[in-house]
Amino acid sequence: MAKDATRNLRETFEPLTSGVFKNNATFRLVLGTCPTLAVTTSAINGLSMGLATTFVLVCSNAIVSLLRNFIPRKVRIPAYILVIATFSTLVQMIMRKWLPDLYDSLGLFLSLVVVNCILLARAESFASLNPVLPSVLDGIGIGLGFAFSLTLLGMIREFLGAGALFGYEFTALVEAGLPMTIFILPAGGFLVYGFMMVIYNAAVKAVENALKKRAENKNNDNDGVPKNKNGEQIPLILEPETGADAIEALNREGGDA
């Protein structure tokens, strides 16, 4: 009973964790590349773009999931875009009022959240098929994964390109002329994105392999009976030490020698 509850809980929260790491929108699914390259010239831009997208993603996933039985199949895409556009306009209005500098800095890309393929992809492939809670968790997971990637890229590009982090300038680096402007330019964006994709995928693969190995070992250790990776018992073949032992064993089982 408790085991079932734990499994259900794990299944419910699975979209949250997989969205951040296993299905990371930027490094694994390679979605939303345009804003990724355009706004990651600084860490704060990356973080705010990521959080804005997360907000829109969570809200639109929730609404699409709520309306999944109400929206006719033929007009589902215009309906999803209408929902996404509403929330991205909301974010714009809020940022313009309370975060005008960020609003100016993100510029056109804030409006373009509405056509970010991550949003439409999650609405179509997940939210329209699942209940509200998993859809919201999926939105949070994918959104945080996107925000994490954008912030990371922004930090690397800002540090290498401008000798600063979150707007804080490392004067010694700048005076020494170490920052390389190319990292703030589009070419540098592609370079950093490519390298990060390689590193991230290698790291995720290594972690997945390690987890698989640990799970196999755990299965083998659980009841002392060795099991393969599918959890099936591996048959044990016990070889009798001598011919006499074998005859004795067969006699015990009532077989013929």
- At closest approach, how far in Å is the CB of 189 from another protein? 11
- At closest approach, how far in Å is the CB of 62 from another protein? 14
When the beta carbons of 97 and 252 are compared against another protein, the nearer one is 97
- At closest approach, how far in Å is the CB of 42 from another protein? 4
- At closest approach, how far in Å is the CB of 19 from another protein? 26
Compute CA distances 14 → 6, 17, 140, 150, whole Å: 12, 6, 12, 22
Q: Residue holding tokens 């925000």? A: 147
When the beta carbons of 6 and 181 are compared against another protein, the nearer one is 181
What values do phi and psi take at 57, rounded to 5?
-65, -45
- At closest approach, how far in Å is the CB of 194 from another protein? 20
Q: Which two tokens stand for residue 137?
A: 């968790």
When the beta carbons of 139 and 189 are compared against another protein, the nearer one is 189
- At closest approach, how far in Å is the CB of 120 from another protein? 15
When the beta carbons of 62 and 184 are compared against another protein, the nearer one is 184
When the beta carbons of 90 and 250 are compared against another protein, the nearer one is 90
When the beta carbons of 42 and 54 are compared against another protein, the nearer one is 42
Q: Which two tokens stand for residue 216?
A: 């196999």
Q: Which of 165, 129, 125, 159 lies closest to 142 in space, CA to CA?
A: 125
DSSP 225-256: S-B-TTSPBPPP-PPPSSHHHHHHHHHHHT--
Q: Which two tokens stand for residue 75?
A: 């007009």
Beta-carbon-side half-sphere exposure of residue 165 (alpha carbons within 13 Å): 6
What values do phi and psi take at 149, rounded to 5?
-65, -45
- At closest approach, how far in Å is the CB of 170 from another protein? 12
Distance of alpha carbon 106 from alpha carbon 84, whole angstroms = 18
Distance of alpha carbon 183 from alpha carbon 189, whole angstroms = 6
When the beta carbons of 107 and 226 are compared against another protein, the nearer one is 107
Distance of alpha carbon 103 from alpha carbon 153, whole angstroms = 20
Distance of alpha carbon 16 from alpha carbon 54, whole angstroms = 12
Provide the binding-site residues for another protein, judged by CB under 8 A: 41-42, 44-45, 67, 70-72, 74-75, 78-79, 82-83, 85-86, 89-90, 93-94, 96-98, 100, 104-105, 107, 158, 161-164, 167, 179, 181, 184-185
